[in-house]
Amino acid sequence: MARYPVEFHRHIERNLHRRAGLSVQIERAEPPRRREDQCPRCRILAPGPLESVSLPGGDIKHHWRCKACEFGWDTIFRPLLV
C-alpha cells in the first residue's frame, strides 16, 4: 500500500505522540529555598534570633537582625502538636 505525504506525516506524528507518552518527563528544578536564619537581603547567616515570642495557638515568632546589613525580618515557627 502506498502512503501519500499527508498520510505519512500523520503516521509519523501518531508514533511520536505515542512514544512521548511513554517517555520520562523532566521537571523544572526548584530554586534552593532560603533558610530561616539567612538574611533575605544579603544571604548571610544570622547566629540566632534577637527575640522569640510565643503567640496564641502555640506558634512561636522569631525576630532576626543581620549583623552585616542591619536588615530585620520575622519568621513564625508552627510546632507539630501531637
CA quadruple 7, 11, 14, 20: dihedral, nearest 10:
-140
Quote the CA–CA distance of 66 and 57 in Å, as a whole number. Answer: 28
pLDDT digits 0-9 by tens, 26-71: 667 666 677 888 898 998 998 889 999 999 888 999 999 999 999 9
pTM over 0.85: no
Q: Give 1's pLDDT tier (boundaries 50, 70, 90).
A: low
Greater model confidence, 21 or 48: 48
Average pLDDT over residues 6-22: 68
- Give residue 73's pLDDT: 92
Give the list of residues 6+ apart from residue 36 with CB closer than 8 angstroms, or none: 62, 64, 75
